[in-house]
Chains A and B, each alone.
Chain A
């Protein structure tokens, strides 16, 4: 079966943005049916990598293979759900109108709007203009849009930003249950605490892969007790290496 192949494989990926190389020689893989956390300092290239995976980013070299096809292939457009870092919804439409439209574009079944709205806990606001929602609510509308049509791969750029612990907990539970049904998820985050909830963690630093580990493995490897410390240790080691090389 095709499903034994990873959801995403990049090989020697290079991305150039503005005047600099944002991603250099990155080879990673995202297994199927797991929640994979994409972590790294601000500016390390998380969003850029995600854009490359969904086919929105011009790349300078290497390959990105998604669900067995080259990234950006037309056949993938129905099979990937993507949440951009800034909520990408129409502020002058209601939640329902937003989701109806995106649902039509993706070819989602009619009942899908109600389903995804319930999943992100926004049913009471269904008729509210998106522009009048709170930041966290707006983020969840953006997430709901990505869940339409039950895609096989979800690429979520900081979907839990601005949410309270209860909502964050609920969403991570949703991610886990989606993974259980075979959906592959790549979720970027700034909150190290969220790393615990992933099946695997990819740690990016200046466009390079620092670690590809399970949360437990990461703690073990760095001899630390929590994700924050593990992260700091790995970054410090990387900086040390870079410093030594220079």
Chain B
């Protein structure tokens, strides 16, 4: 791995995105709009207070997953990846370069989503707001890295889109939004322990409802970060210089 090449790749990806202002606008605004919509739907009940934190995990995670996996698939299909793999660019440089570029977008997106949920939609936060932002950012980066990893297994755009229901929806269903995880059947509860999104949601719910649970939140965020790291490593390993 060569930091100079990693950063060159990050800069290149960001330059590409800069040429596409519509994507930037959608990326940055859509999660907030969806959260706003949910707050509005539940304006006459207290439901938003309980699911609001989970939404901060859900929408950025899904959107970053989709954007990243489609962008890297495009790179594979256009032949630029084949070209790069014959050049002195490390596989790690490629994956980490992408992670940093989309990670930066994830940070911006999360900041806006958190700000919107708290100051516009009136989501109450018992814990530290910076801790909340940290969780949101790490979670969005998780979506990015999962997208990077998943795109290695997709040959077409259709397949990438199918990865949504296959890889993302189960995590959403088992993440404790519909039913707290400890009330699920034991088997499902155990499975959900192994899904990274569960820990993101757990961390966000804890930081919004408990003032003095920094330790728990940091532990959950740590687990999410480890998953993200694992996806980066798996993504680099599954990248192939030689193909059939």
Contact = CB atoms under 8 A, between A and B. Distances in A.
Contacts of A80: 86
A145 B11 CA distance: 18
B244 A17 contact: yes
A29 interface: no
Given A17-B244, A84-B79, A93-B16, A56 B85 contact: yes
B102 to A, nearest CB: 15
A101 B89 CA distance: 11
Given A88-B79, A92-B20, A93-B12, A105 B242 contact: no
Contacts of A77: 86-88
A105 B243 contact: no
A30 to B, nearest CB: 17
B86 A55 contact: yes
Contacts of B20: 92
B83 A82 contact: yes
B19 to A, nearest CB: 5
A56 B82 CA distance: 7
Contacts of B88: 74, 77-78, 105-107
Interface string A184-218: 00000000000000000000000000000000000
A89 B82 CA distance: 11
Given A77-B87, A84-B83, A145-B83, A58 B244 contact: yes
Nearest to B8: A104
B167 to A, nearest CB: 27
A82 B15 CA distance: 24
A80 B5 CA distance: 18
A89 B242 CA distance: 19
Given A97-B12, A105-B5, A58 B243 contact: yes
B12 A101 contact: yes
A58 B16 contact: no
Interface string B14-31: 011001100000000000
Interface residues of A, number: 32
Interface in A106-134: 106-107, 129
Given A56-B82, A90-B16, A97-B15, A102 B87 contact: yes
A72 interface: yes
A233 interface: no
B4 to A, nearest CB: 7
A77 B87 CA distance: 5
Given A90-B16, A97-B12, A57 B242 contact: yes
Interface centre among A77, A82, A101, by most chain B C-beta atoms within 10 angstroms, is: A101
A101 B87 contact: no
A104 B8 CA distance: 7
B78 interface: yes
Interface in B186-244: 241-244
B34 to A, nearest CB: 26
A67 to B, nearest CB: 13
Interface in A49-67: 51, 54-58
B84 interface: yes
A90 B80 contact: yes
Interface string A1-33: 000000000000000110000000000000000
Q: Which 3 residue pairs across A and B have the least CB separation, nearest first?
A: A88-B79, A77-B88, A104-B8
Interface of A: 16-17, 51, 54-58, 72, 74, 77-78, 80, 82, 84, 86-93, 97, 101-102, 104-107, 129, 145
14 contacts: A16-B244, A54-B86, A58-B242, A78-B88, A82-B83, A90-B16, A90-B80, A92-B19, A93-B15, A101-B11, A101-B12, A105-B5, A105-B8, A145-B83
Given A78-B88, A105-B89, 11 more contacts: A56-B241, A57-B244, A72-B242, A80-B86, A84-B79, A89-B80, A90-B16, A92-B20, A93-B12, A104-B4, A106-B87
